[in-house]
Amino acid sequence: MSDGITHPLEDDDGPAETLWAGTGRASKREDSERQSLAQILNLIRNGTANTRLELERISGLGRAIVADRLETLNQLRLIDEDELGHANGGRAPRTARFRESQALYLVAVLEQGSIGIAVSTIAGKLLLEHHEPLDALAEPAAVLKRLHTLFDWALEQHRKDRDIWGIGIALSGPVETSAGQPFASPHLPFMPGWEGLEFVESLVARYGAPCWVRSKIEMMTAGELLAGSAQGAHDMLFVDLSREISAGLVLGGKLFKSDQGRAGLVGHIAVGEDTTTLCKCGNVGCLEAVAGADAVARLALQAASGAQSPHLAEMLQADGEITAMSVGTAALMGDTVSAELLSRSGRHIGNTLAALTNSFNPSLIVIGGTMAESSDILLAAIREAVYRRSHPLVSRDLRIVRSKIGASSALIGLARSVADEVFAPNILPRWILQGSPVRNKDTEAVVAAIRTAVTRSARNLPPPFERTPA
């Protein structure tokens, strides 16, 4: 943590990330009760079992224990057990249902030029979703203030006296988690101005809940696997074509999680023999610099300024700028220069994906991001290059599709990621007897300390700069 903010983030048992769920010493009997309650709740929450007979069979717990634990979970308002299931020759069994409306999560995706937020149930189901553009040069403090405003607005419509159990933030770039997560901001060297900004602490203080920060590409991939074009896929490659080009991988039906979120930087794979195009990473010839959205926009601007494309020139005059979306629109209007720019970009991207296809042999490639939505020409060029440059054995059954859920993917994946943290098998037993992960003395103490520290830090800030009238 920076700027001197300190709070009780450690005890004798270990690091800060476990304290939010409570670390009070428990007797063996109470510990056994917590473990069995957590086991049964997760079986119900995940849809693995919802009748007493199924719970007894899968959990290995006796009938009396299962009955007692269900009664306790009912009293804690974590489940409902009042619906009748299907009868098999006898009396219909009662079924247990997870109370996903008991509390809420807040999730947001922050990237250069845009922000997306959502409110979800504690099962990860989105209740409200909102996206809007941001000034690409906006100061981090202004972005954080807008995030607070949007979260407050969303809660006005959906809170209904419910607690916030967790917050999730997805960022474009590798996220280096710190030992204090989910109460301390991670290191963000790839985001100018954000390094040292205690945005996690501000969210914890404002909403009284732990906050996890994740890589956007991992969350987009998880969202596609849960609810998008890749739903149920066994091996899948997801590619985000936005201002940056990155990829996420699903192996054996599970999201591949890299060390510190640094995998998937495919935009920095060298393209051909290009030795002149400088990338923001410091190298030359990176895919992102040669074929990304900014590269397409840069080449289109040159074509518009040089009178090579009347369509682009008209757009430049009308809008004052050219973007990758502008190029897609011009291509749809029949502009051959724009169509060739998108084809060129697609070929470079496809050639890179072919190498990944040969390496991992996915059964599905899902293309998402703003560039993917701009034109079918780009997607067609990607497909042609992948099928042409991949080995026939790996491309024979390969499908390449566009994302069906678009910008929602990261929010969906993020909401589920927060749920996985809150209900993790090593965390759930710590708070289950309180019926809430945020209503126990350990969490409340940490949140109170952070609120005090954030308030003190805000008081110590210098006054804002004011210009002297001319």
pLDDT digit string (tens) for 207-238?
999 999 999 999 999 999 999 888 878 999 99
CATH topology of domain 231-404: Nucleotidyltransferase; domain 5 (3.30.420)
Token pair of 439 as six digits? 């209503």
Closest CA relative to residue 417, chosen from 262, 282, 220, 219: 219
How far is residue 163 from each of residues 103, 106, 183, measured CA to CA in Å? Answer: 5, 11, 17
How much is the mean pLDDT over the chain? 87
Q: What is the pLDDT of residue 243?
A: 84
Q: Where are the beta strands (DSSP E) in 308-379?
A: 364-368
Token pair of 84 as six digits? 């009748």
End-to-end CA distance of the chain: 41
Distance between CA atoms of residues 220 and 110, nearest Å: 13
Distance between CA atoms of residues 445 and 208, nearest Å: 11
* Residue 423, SS3 per DSSP: coil
Closest CA relative to residue 437, chosen from 425, 448, 422: 422
User: Phi and psi at residue 27, in whole multiples of 5°?
Assistant: -70, 165
Q: What angle do CA 373, 376, 379 make, to 5 degrees?
A: 85
Q: What is the pLDDT of residue 7?
A: 35
Same fold, 25-98 and 231-404: no
How far is residue 139 from each of residues 167, 194, 234, measured CA to CA in Å? Answer: 22, 9, 41
- Give DSSP secondary structure letters for 114-165: EEEEEEEETTS-EEEEEEEE--TT--HHHHHHHHHHHHHHHHHHH-TTPPEE
Q: What is the pLDDT of residue 136?
A: 79
Q: What is the pLDDT of residue 90?
A: 53
The residue assigned the tokens 């026939």 is 392
Token pair of 202 as six digits? 């501000």
CATH topology of domain 25-98: Arc Repressor Mutant, subunit A (1.10.10)
User: Phi and psi at residue 120, in whole multiples of 5°?
Assistant: -130, 160
Distance between CA atoms of residues 272 and 399, nearest Å: 25
Q: What is the pLDDT of residue 462?
A: 55
Structural contact between residues 116 and 147, judged by C-beta atoms closer than 8 angstroms? no
Residues β-bridged to residue 84: 94
Residues lower than pLDDT 70 in the chain: 1-26, 83-92, 177-180, 259-261, 458-470
Q: What is the pLDDT of residue 49?
A: 95
Q: Where are the domains of the chain?
A: 1-22+102-228+410-461, 25-98, 231-404
Q: What angle do CA 304, 309, 310 make, to 5 degrees?
A: 95
Structural contact between residues 379 and 367, judged by C-beta atoms closer than 8 angstroms? yes
Structural contact between residues 351 and 389, judged by C-beta atoms closer than 8 angstroms? yes
CATH 3.30.420.40 fits 1-22+102-228+410-461, yes or no: yes
Q: What is the pLDDT of residue 89?
A: 52
How far is residue 287 from each of residues 112, 295, 350, 381, measured CA to CA in Å? Answer: 19, 10, 10, 15
Q: Find out whether the peptide bond into 182 is cis, omega within 30 degrees of 0.
A: yes
Distance between CA atoms of residues 377 and 384, nearest Å: 11
User: Phi and psi at residue 107, in whole multiples of 5°?
Assistant: -135, 150
pTM equals 0.88
Closest CA relative to residue 413, chosen from 168, 237, 165: 168
- Give DSSP secondary structure letters for 428-470: HHHHGGGTSSSSSHHHHHHHHHHHHHHHHHHHTSPPPP-PPP-
Q: What is the pLDDT of residue 12?
A: 37
Structural contact between residues 105 and 116, judged by C-beta atoms closer than 8 angstroms? no
Q: What is the pLDDT of residue 467?
A: 47
Q: Which amino acid is at 411?
A: L
Helix then strand then coil, % of the chain, to nearest 5: 45, 15, 40
